[in-house]
Amino acid sequence: MGYFSDNELPFTRDNLDGFLRLPASDPGRQAAERWMQDHHAAAPTDNLRSEFLEFETDLYFRIVSSAIPKADPNHLYLGSRFHGQALHDPELFRAASKCAGVVSVNVYGIWQLDSETTATWERESGKPFIVTEFYAKGEDSGMPNHTGAGWLVHTQDDRGLSY
């Protein structure tokens, strides 16, 4: 079907602050400072953090998506799978949609996606989305299934029901 360029990258609204805390010689900090200057801003605000998140995500997707068709023009670019808080950040869906064939999401801790959330993903991206990871782990598997983002259920039968 296609390629993921990465998995669950930390695209968050505090990334601008993080880049600005890097050493002065760091290219990431220098790019963030140029971005702030271009926006005539002395300090980050919530609005600027949101704009930078979309800028950063767009730049990432443009760079990565330009390489994939050169290696394999016959498959989709599936993006970098969003999860957690990223599922609620419309900036990410707008940025990904410019380059990805579909928007990929990983969903944990939710029994069923609500129609408002999925409608937001579709509206902001203008693309279809694909749920690329979800899972439940069973206590009766004989494995130490106590970590990870998926549900922990009692039995393998319960796992089947959760799917």
- What ranges do the domains of the chain cover? 2-134
Question: Which tokens belong to 53?
Answer: 């998140």
**Band of pLDDT at residue 62, cut at 50, 70 and 90:** very high
pTM: 0.85
- Average pLDDT (3-12) is 93
Residue 72, exposed/middle/buried by CB under 10 A (0-12, 13-18, 19+)? exposed
For the cut 90, the answer to whether the pLDDT of residue 87 exceeds it is yes
- Average pLDDT (119-124) is 95
Tell me the average pLDDT of the chain.
Answer: 92
Residue with more model confidence, 7 or 151: 7
Distances (CA, A) of 123 to 35, 93, 97: 27, 9, 10
